[in-house]
Amino acid sequence: MTKKTPVIKRYPDTKALAQAVVDLFIEIANEAIEARDVFTVALSGGTTPRSVYELLADERYAEAVDWSKVHVFWGDERSVPPNNPNSNYWMAENLWLGRGNIPEINIHRMKGELDAELAEMDYNRVLHDFFADNAAAGKPPRLDLVLLGMGDDGHTASLFPGTAAIHETERWVIAHFIEKLKTRRITLTPVVLNAAANVVFLVEGEGKAVRLKEVLEGPEQPDVLPAQIIAPTDGNLYWFVDEAAAADL
């Protein structure tokens, strides 16, 4: 299977970028629901996706998707409780999910409040239960859509430079200590991220321009630039970037 060429889409500003991501989100969601009566999406944390979540919460999208068929997962989570402002779940819940269009039972958060190893075991069970057919066939979950950000150090999800998780080939979820942050993070591994049908990076701001050029146009060095490990085995890879982040491309 040959990996598809990443599709890079440039937008003048946050508003235009968020609208484009929401349009693609709805397109993929409706295709998935039409085909398999379910749509699975893993959300990103950080600040960039905020505008996407706020837009998805808008009344105009209340009927755009059969939200009862949508299941929400996360790409990573911080080691904090769900009501902590640093929680990736808390952000999405407050900006979008709390509106209630998606049934609570369809929202599968990583339990950052648990001891990291327990959180890893818990989320591994969540994924194995939900994607039981894949697990039984010895295959990773195939999420319909994964939203990812890219840090100014080239990390994505909680795959940080120099961490073994970048090269994980078996485990679906890893809880690990991030030296740079002096804290633990829970993250999906490339085993799951690269099994997705669609992966969308959201990158904004001039602060990301140098790193984005390195990631997209520089030599392959995923230990230094973990975002480079993301290459869906049989899926689409999109980079939705604003002109500021794309300045050096």
Q: Which is nearer to ligand 6PG, 76 or 242 (CB)?
A: 76
Provide the minimum distance between the beta carbon of 220 and ligand 6PG in the complex, in angstroms, as a whole number: 20
Say how far residue 44 (Cα) sits from the centre of its chain.
Answer: 4
Task: Select the residue whose beta carbon is closest to ligand 6PG and give its number.
Answer: 149
Provide the minimum distance between the beta carbon of 201 and ligand 6PG in the complex, in angstroms, as a whole number: 9
Burial of 219 per CB tally in 10 Å (0-12, 13-18, 19+)? exposed
Q: Which is nearer to ligand 6PG, 106 or 187 (CB)?
A: 187
Provide the minimum distance between the beta carbon of 142 and ligand 6PG in the complex, in angstroms, as a whole number: 21
Provide the minimum distance between the beta carbon of 30 and ligand 6PG in the complex, in angstroms, as a whole number: 26
Provide the minimum distance between the beta carbon of 126 and ligand 6PG in the complex, in angstroms, as a whole number: 18
Q: Which is nearer to ligand 6PG, 67 or 240 (CB)?
A: 240
Provide the minimum distance between the beta carbon of 75 and ligand 6PG in the complex, in angstroms, as a whole number: 6
Q: Which is nearer to ligand 6PG, 69 or 211 (CB)?
A: 211
Binding stretches for ligand 6PG (CB under 6 A): 44-48, 75-76, 88, 149-151, 155-157
Q: Which is nearer to ligand 6PG, 33 or 241 (CB)?
A: 241
Q: Which is nearer to ligand 6PG, 51 or 67 (CB)?
A: 51
